[in-house]
Structure 1
């Protein structure tokens, strides 16, 4: 079985959603990630929830290219928010054929956040989707151990932990920590690289995360070790924002370079 390789939205965030799908197709990816809900207030906002002209256009481009949707993002667990508030976006993700929903834990009340994640998993399950919690050092699910605990509490078969090598490094998680997560909960993996040195402040880490990562194999992370610690053939979402490079290199060429770099790392795993 061919491993799904997906172009994450953050890699080519300057593109509209239909253009992201076309970019994934022309760069050689089998899948794409769609950002239905912006991650920050400064990102472009698209009318991409519900039965909108843009949703219909994305569906048409997916059908025309044969590209599939690996994941849809970003579903935040926030204080005072009802899980049902996400249903329209979850339904849209299902309509577009997504397999997974990317969740971020942003509620400082631990018990409430665990219950909210369980409720979100139940909502995702009604649409046949997985719900994966991505740990990030600036969120309340700060590292792999914290995310594993929240996911385990849910008791849901469709729940998962999402490992991003960037957050894995910057949260000081360890390869041996992956044993905390049952293999079935590692539903897919994000993929990128960075220097080993961790920036001195959370603001600097955030800036690096959102704007300047490295193509796989061009940094200092043990990506081969990471891939050997997770289930074989796990889908990869290639998430490599490179804003400086984007000033001179277009989105499709950057996406091609990211994919070629990913395949070089995969070849090392298979040696």
Structure 2
């Protein structure tokens, strides 16, 4: 797979989380109709669903930015994780999105290394996403793990960085970021519990530019040209807009943020 971004301007991807009611191949088709050149997919049965995704990619020309999601636990890489990694590689996805629910950083690092070994020789790389309600809950921890496993990158998400109380405008090393997730947060109080943080991330996001996050600072801190996955899991948007209309709305909102409203 070729580099999914140009040398300077970010390329937008429709994240699976923004249109969760769609099948994986449906996300690819929706991305194409909404004007996204990239898409991310979330599988429930990778081997059964992969052929339809491959067909949608072939027919639409949309490329796969990421495949979701490996949730690493204390038991390490499972057979289900291996199947998902194999599917990501076969589909030529650029990244395999990974989070950790293992509180032992050493074990998490070993599991990430095991995933990277499965993907060796393919175009797919492991990306580790830090979140305040997972075991990797700081940027520093995610960077340590990524640096320990060559080829692994960190996935910055504007909402998660904000909720981890990380500065959005702190620059990222180019070698540690493959893409980023663009989203926004409403003006409400900072959720204090893991349950509330997870609920916000999965149900209460708002379109880029409609919230309170310093997205201009976030974008300026990223390496030039990294793709931006537009991930807005919102019960409000899902109730008000059909998937395609929602995807178009989010593409327009993201484009306005990226271009500074021009």
Shift of 1:84: 6.2
Residue in structure 2 matched with residue 33 of structure 1 by the alignment = 40
1:74 to 63, 69, 73: 69
Aligned: 1:6 with 2:13: yes
Task: Judge conservation of contact 2:77–2:115 (CA < 8 Å) in 1.
Answer: no
Residue in structure 2 matched with residue 167 of structure 1 by the alignment = 160
1:195 to 186, 190, 195: 186
1:186 to 170, 177, 181: 177
Distance in 2 of aligned mates of 1:82 and 1:96: 20
Shift of 1:144: 0.9
Residue in structure 2 matched with residue 116 of structure 1 by the alignment = 111
**Deviation digits for residues 224-255 of structure 1 (CA, Å, limit 9, x no counterpart):** 11111111111000000111221231011111
User: TM-score if structure 2 supplies the norm length?
Assistant: 0.91
Shift of 1:120: 1.8
Structure 1, gaps ≥5 residues long: 37-45
Distance in 2 of aligned mates of 1:74 and 1:85: 11
Task: Judge conservation of contact 1:91–1:127 (CA < 8 Å) in 2.
Answer: no
Tell me whether 21-30 or 196-205 shows the greater mean CA deviation.
Answer: 196-205
- Mark the CA change 1:159 to 1:83 in structure 2 (over 3 Å): closer, same or farther: farther
* Number of residues of Structure 1 aligned to a counterpart in Structure 2: 254
Aligned: 1:60 with 2:58: no
Shift of 1:152: 1.6
How large is the RMSD of aligned CA atoms in angstroms?
1.8
Residue in structure 2 matched with residue 232 of structure 1 by the alignment = 224
1:248 to 230, 234, 240: 240
